[in-house]
Amino acid sequence: MSDALMNTYARLPVSFSHGEGAWLWDTEGRRYLDALSGIAVCGLGHAHPAVTEAIARQAGALLHTSNLYGIPRQATLGAALTRLAGMDKAFFCNSGAEANEAAIKLARLHGHRRGIAQPTIVVTQGAFHGRTLATLTATGNAKIQAGFEPLPQGFLRVPFDDLTAIENIAGVDPYVVAVLVEPITGEGGIRVPSEGYLPGLRALCDRHGWLLMVDEVQTGMCRTGRWFAHQHSGIAPDVMTLAKGLGNGVPIGACLARGEAAEVFQPGNHGSTFGGNPLVCSAAQAVVDTLEREDLAARAGALGARMTQGLREALADTAGVVEVRGQGLMLGIVLDRPCGALVRMALDEGLLINVTAERVVRLLPPLIISDQEADAIVQQVSALIARFLQENKG
């Protein structure tokens, strides 16, 4: 689209001029139903009045001061998030990758202070934790890592949803200090682990003195029907990372910690120039207030159940559909063949979707969609998948 931009994205041939709720308009005036919400970022949809008002008000007063000084709006937001998450302290940054980078540094420092010179973090296959060098290494996708070697050391990879694999590591590796895991994989294909997985991880970490670190960058902020996806399992992690839906489009990330983990970082251990400045914290506070006031976690759970049932019924007799899975408004339709072409087909019909893990159609609509918009997504996606499979028979 522009010779001035690095060729880092395979962009679709569309640019948007404005949005409202679950809808976007392109520069030609055509309207699109957004079933992706900027990959789980715009949970409150586009141009939400509470977020717009908060940004405008704060921009007229003060955009930025360094973290050398107190930032009252950062303290207020930190108090709200730690209350909702059952955590003790928060560190603010600019993205999910930076939030996970903070978690990785926290775990390593925790290990060093316990006398472990080569601290190791257990990560899972199919995970996605970001694109900085450390988070790229933690990410379980060889395609994303290719060409960026040498990668940092200090990670051990195990299959997702496999407690036995981690138990085996515990028996032979004295350097493990933490486990980093997504409660539901996002880029890895919307995989929901078995019911006992997270409680089992919690028990393992308690038994061996490891930190349990949960990456809620995509699953957090009410996306799955709870404030945070790990709450479905009734466990409490030691460290949790957030981003995406936290700012509804304003770039903000957070690393939250409790107990001993909350005391690891001291002045000089970590920092961020822009992290948690007045502007982004005002926007994120408006998001938190709106999610809480309108009980959008419950709304996401109910809508997700409605869409899952609708997709399963509509695709029940469609050969080539393997499974409809997910939690809340984080849904995946698994096909038996690569289906990246569906993204362009949907775009041509005025619908924004995504395909991940090559053959999983990913739906992450805004939490504020109406029942009618949810039904429209189900009908349109089901029809597109049926047509795609008919035109691309194996």
User: Catalytic site residues?
Assistant: 128, 215, 244
Cα–Cα distance list, 172 to 99, 125, 166, 175, 288 (Å): 30, 20, 10, 9, 43
What's the CA gap between 59 and 62, in Å, rounded? 6
- Cβ-count burial 264-276 (b if 16+ within 10 Å, e if not): bbeeeebebebbb
Pair of tokens at residue 382: 């089901």
What's the CA gap between 161 and 198, in Å, rounded? 9
Instruction: Give helix 371-391 / helix 296-314 axis angle, nearest 10°.
Output: 30
Please enumerate in sequence order all residues whose Cβ is within 8 A of that of 168, keeping only pairs 6 or more positions apart, or say none: none
Cα–Cα distance list, 375 to 39, 178, 345 (Å): 20, 42, 19
What's the CA gap between 382 and 387, in Å, rounded? 9
Burial of 376 (0-12, 13-18, 19+ CB in 10 A): middle
Instruction: Name which of 132, 140, 130, 186 is nearest 165 in CA terms.
Output: 140
Count of H helices and E strands in the chain?
A: 12, 15
